[in-house]
Every structure is written in C-alpha cells, then in structure tokens.
Structure 1
Amino acid sequence: MVEIKGVIPAILTPMKEDESVNYDELRNQLNRLIDGGVHGIFPFGTNGEGYILREDEKMEILKVTVDEVKGRVPVYAGTGCIGTKDTVRQSLKAKEAGADILSIIAPSFAMASQDELYEHYKTVAFEVDMPIVLYNIPARTNNSISPDTVERLSEIPNIVGVKDSSGNFDNMLQYIEKTRGNENFSVLSGNDSLILWNLLAGGVGGIAGCANIYPGTLASIYDLFMAGELEQARKAQDSIRNIRNTFKYGNPNTMVKTAVGLMGYLVGKCRAPFNKVSDQGVEALKKALAENEALGMK
C-alpha cells in the first residue's frame, strides 16, 4: 500500500482566459512541484477548484496528472460528492484513471449525523478497493467528522488516513490520539500553518496550498523534521506566515493562484465568481513575494 507522508500540494488548476483548463501549464506545474521535492500531488482539491470543475474535467486533469507524474510520487484524487452513490462512481473512475489514493471530502450542504457520515464512508470503502483518506473541512461542508467517528472508520482496512482542515489543532490532536494504536492510519494537516505541529504530535505531514508557491520550502518542513533538524524545520514553517497573512484580502485559493501568477507562471485566474483580488491584496502579495525572494525561498 502507498505510504502517506510528507507535504502534498493541493495543486492549483491552471486556466486560460476563457476559463478552460491549461493542460500544458498543468504539466509544467507538476514538474516544478516534484522538482521542488514534494512528497505527493493532489489535483482538484479545494485549492485546485474542485468545487467548480465539471466531472469530465476532473477526470481529464487526473489522467494528465498520472501521465506526467509517472509514478515519481503518489497521486491523490478528490472524489467526494454530496451523495454516496456519486462518490462511489467518481471514485471508481479515479481508480480507472490511475490514482493512487482517494481523498474524500465530507458531504456538504445538508447536515449529516455522525452515523450517516460513518455509513457514507463505510459504503464507499467497501465498494472501492483503494486507500481512502477522509477529508474534514467543516467551514466549507457544514459537516464535521468527529474524532470518535474517525476512530471507528480507521478500523476499516482501506480507510488509511484523515486530512483535517478544521483549523482546530485540538481536533487534529484528537484524531492522532484516537488512532495512535493503528500503524496503518495517518493524520495529515490541511492547514499549512500546522504542518510542523502535526508532525510533532505524531501526524505524518500535510496537504498544503502554499506548496504551489514554495514547494521546496514547504517540503523541507517534513524533510528537516525527519532529519532531526527541528530548529530549521520551525524556521521553514514560520517563513510562510507573511503569505498566509495576505489571505485576509480574499479567498485563499484565489490568493495562492494570484501569487503563483505574479511569480511569472501562466496559471490564469480562478473561475468566476471567485477570481477577484483587490489592489491592496495584490500589493500585499507582491510585498510578501519580494521579501521571500530575498530570503531565497523556493
């Protein structure tokens, strides 16, 4: 089974002016991130605008990703839908397209009980013979996967991990505590600011939007930690603070994509209506990028 570890970019989806996917630039970004030392690739997650891509676009993005990555790192595919049957269907398509691991976001919009969430994930796991990572992001879905539910789900053999994007460190800590005895289950941070703290608590790394901007720096948090160089790992973790401080000016996905565009890459804008950054936000990004360039961040 594929080992879940390290820093995995939730890779952005490059787009042309007409909002169609720019597959040539996608291949360019994939190689840039892998050359930067990242430990996996996660297309069409939240940062990849999976919420606004059509199903056929997702599958084509996944096929191109698998083709370009060529097994150099594991490929994660976000296949979660509101309905259980749709999630199974998309997951089977992702398996056919060559994904290594499924990331399945909690159902959204309608409130779900913990028993309903458990049955949802259990059904998908039984129908799709692939490693599955649960994805908890209650601010976007209105449904939170409780630590007790994660503990129950971790007993299903092919549910192998959870990504926590709640921003609540105690919630992530409880995920780690509840599953510590299961050596086949991993906990990832979905918050870029908590990657090192996830590792210190017993987690395995993070799925990171900011790795689109600085793949080398983000990947080094994990590498330095594993090498026992904790002070250097902390410095790498702290170094993204000025970029994250710009997120107050807009949707984090939009800010990350704008930052990568300002670095000279042809990634385009996010799809409307989520494609506006104020002049103040652009200036804040330029300032942070210049500061980090002077520090040699990559």
Structure 2
Amino acid sequence: MTKSAYVALVTCFNDDETINYQATRNQVKRQIAAGNNIMCAGTNGDFTALTFDEKVRLTEEVVDEAGGKAKVIVNAGMPATFETIKLAREFDRIGVDGIAVITPFFIACTQDGLIRHFTAVADTVSVPVYLYDIPPRTQNHIEPETAKTLARHGNIAGIKDSGGTNESLNAYLGISREMDGFDVYSGPDHLVLWSLQNGAAGAISGLGNVLPDILAGIIDGFNSGDIAKAEVNQEIFGNFRKDLYGLGYPPALVKRALYLMDETVGASRQPALLPDPEQDRKIVEILKKYGRIQP
C-alpha cells in the first residue's frame, strides 16, 4: 500500500482578520508542488475561529485549487452532532475526498455518546469519514474498543491519531491490522516514520506547513524503499519539531514560523497569542538553522 502525507493546512488571514482566500490557495499550490495532500479546517487551520459559512467557502476554495492534483480531507467536527452533520453534508456536496470528525470539545462524552455521534455523521454522507482523536485539546478520547466498534461501520474509513504517544497510536494500528478498510494516519510529527513502519496509511502533519519538502521526503523514502532517505528526513523533522515546539503552543508556533517566512499567511484570529519580539527572534534563528530563511 502506497503511503500518503496530508498537511493540516493553515488558514490565511488579512490584517482585519477576514480570511485571505488567495493566500490560502497559494499555500495549497505550495503543498501540491511538494507532493502533499491537504487537510482543511483542522487544528492548524484555526477551525474553532471560523464560522459555518467560512468553513464551507474555505473548503470550496481549497478543493477548487487542488483541482484533483491532491486529495482534500476537511474537518467537520463540532461539539454538537447537529452542526457536525450540517457541515458534513456541505462538504459532501462540495466533493471532498474525506471528512474528518474531531471528537466533540467542551461537552464531556461517554464512549457510547462518541459511538452515536460518529455513527450519525457517517450515516449522513457518502464520502469516507475519518475519526479524529486529539484528547489534549478536546478532553474526549476515542478508546481503542470504541474505535474498533466504529471501524465496523461501512463508511468510517480510519482515524487520525493526535494523542501524541506510541501507545495510543499502536492500539489503533492493531485495529487496522485486524480490520480491512480502517486506515490509521499519524498526527505526531516525531512518529511519522515509526507509524509508517508499523502499518499506518500515512501522516497528517501540522509541521508540514513549514517543512513540506521534509515531510514529503519521509513518505517518498518509505514508499521507494529508501529507508535511509526516510530516516534522514525524519531526523530533520523531529529535531525541528523539538526546537520549535519547545517555545510554546504548537499550532500557534507553526503559523508564526510560516508568517516569518511569508507574511501573506497573516496572524491568527484573536484571542490567539500576540506576536512576541523575543519569541520571533528565537523562531527566526530556528528557521535559519534549518535553511528556511537566509542567515
């Protein structure tokens, strides 16, 4: 099975915090040029700061720009099943390749509640649905047994694991090995190669916004059997992650690093952290170290 990489694309904003759709399209082009697919309206895309209508238009713009040259998955997950289904139907209409559904946030869910939530969404749309587990942000974790139950649904095609540990990723991989048609995509950037070597279908990466070529290098190396190439790129990816994420909240740092490379991506909507000159200086030094901007 050929592995694939998706980048959890940033959403670009103008100075007045409206969405800069053309700049976002440019980021789609950049990822396609590197050989990566797109995940739209995810954590790195500031989805919690976007309105319903903005998510729909954003997805339309991204799908149009991708033009079949890359696959597009979009996150429809919201706290309420009602709104999640409304969004999912819109994305289905647009013609995305898959719909990711992040676990409900703010609302504390039982495992039975999660099963009912994801099943209701998967019953509603024709395109494949992917579970999206990121408990550090939502406080709701998809237990392996719950994932296994959901994997039996004919329209639930896999899971994006952003739990951040080998343990949770390995548990989902065990389900994938046992059940055909249930793919696992790794979220943690330091586990991309490890996950591929243990059966993952690919990776969905936030850090790929800044290092699209390095992410693609891990995937290409693995797919071609050039493990040395994959290992070199994974080492770069992991070291960059350690350096950058050591400064604070990962999605905000990815967006800021990309901004310091290309100001058209803009800042994030408030109340995101405001830029800090000292932090910017440290990010610039990291970008110089990895050859992303000139010394």
Q: TM-score, normalised by structure 1?
A: 0.94
| Cα shift at 1:80 | 0.8
Are the equivalent residues in 1 in contact too, given 2:76–2:87 (CA < 8 A)?
A: yes
Find 1:73's aligned residue among 61, 70, 74: 70
Which position in structure 1 is the counterpart of 2:251? 253
Are the equivalent residues in 2 in contact too, given 1:213–1:256 (CA < 8 A)?
A: yes
| Cα shift at 1:203 | 0.6
Are the equivalent residues in 2 in contact too, given 1:100–1:131 (CA < 8 A)?
A: yes
Find 1:31's aligned residue among 9, 29, 47: 29
Structure 1 residues 275 and 269: CA distance shift in structure 2, 3 A = farther
Q: What is the CA–CA distance in structure 2 between the aligned matches of 1:84 and 1:173, rounded to whole Å?
A: 28
Which position in structure 2 is the counterpart of 1:15? 13
Q: CA offsets per residue over residues 54-112 of structure 1, 9 Å max, x none?
A: 11111111011111110111111100111112111110011112211000001111211
| Cα shift at 1:5 | 4.2
Q: What is the CA–CA distance in structure 2 between the aligned matches of 1:90 and 1:242, rounded to whole Å?
A: 35
| Cα shift at 1:280 | 3.1
Which position in structure 2 is the counterpart of 1:59? 56
Which position in structure 1 is the counterpart of 2:125? 128
Letter of the 2:79 counterpart: I
Letter of the 1:263 counterpart: M
Q: CA offsets per residue over residues 212-242 of structure 1, 9 Å max, x none?
A: 1111111111110111111221110110223
Q: Percent identity?
A: 33
Letter of the 2:29 counterpart: N
Which position in structure 1 is the counterpart of 2:91? 94
Are the equivalent residues in 1 in contact too, given 2:59–2:91 (CA < 8 A)?
A: yes
Give the gaps of 5 or more residues in structure 1. none
Q: What is the CA–CA distance in structure 2 between the aligned matches of 1:63 and 1:53, rounded to whole Å?
A: 14
Structure 1 residues 275 and 294: CA distance shift in structure 2, 3 A = closer
Are the equivalent residues in 1 in contact too, given 2:3–2:196 (CA < 8 A)?
A: no
| Cα shift at 1:270 | 0.8
Q: SS of the residue aligned with 1:81?
A: coil
Q: CA offsets per residue over residues 152-198 of structure 1, 9 Å max, x none?
A: 11111110010011102111101011231223111011111111111
Which position in structure 2 is the counterpart of 1:269? 267
Q: What is the CA–CA distance in structure 2 between the aligned matches of 1:254 and 1:89, rounded to whole Å?
A: 28
Q: What is the CA–CA distance in structure 2 between the aligned matches of 1:213 and 1:263, rounded to whole Å?
A: 8
Are the equivalent residues in 2 in contact too, given 1:250–1:281 (CA < 8 A)?
A: no
Q: What is the CA–CA distance in structure 1 between the aligned matches of 2:173 and 2:243, rounded to whole Å?
A: 27
Q: What is the root-mean-square deviation of aligned Cα atoms in Å?
A: 1.8
Give the gaps of 5 or more residues in structure 2. none
| Cα shift at 1:248 | 3.0
Which position in structure 1 is the counterpart of 2:207? 210
| Cα shift at 1:27 | 1.2
Letter of the 1:271 counterpart: R
Letter of the 1:200 counterpart: Q
Q: CA offsets per residue over residues 129-151 of structure 1, 9 Å max, x none?
A: 22011000001111000011111
| Cα shift at 1:249 | 2.3
Structure 1 residues 28 and 259: CA distance shift in structure 2, 3 A = same
Are the equivalent residues in 1 in contact too, given 2:10–2:46 (CA < 8 A)?
A: yes
Structure 1 residues 248 and 278: CA distance shift in structure 2, 3 A = farther
| Cα shift at 1:244 | 3.7
Structure 1 residues 84 and 109: CA distance shift in structure 2, 3 A = same
Q: What is the CA–CA distance in structure 1 between the aligned matches of 2:16 and 2:32, rounded to whole Å?
A: 28
Q: Which deviates the most, 270-279 or 119-128?
A: 270-279
Q: Which deviates the most, 60-69 or 269-278?
A: 269-278
How many residues align structurally?
Answer: 293
Q: What is the CA–CA distance in structure 2 between the aligned matches of 1:128 and 1:295, rounded to whole Å?
A: 43
| Cα shift at 1:245 | 2.3
Q: SS of the residue aligned with 1:133?
A: strand
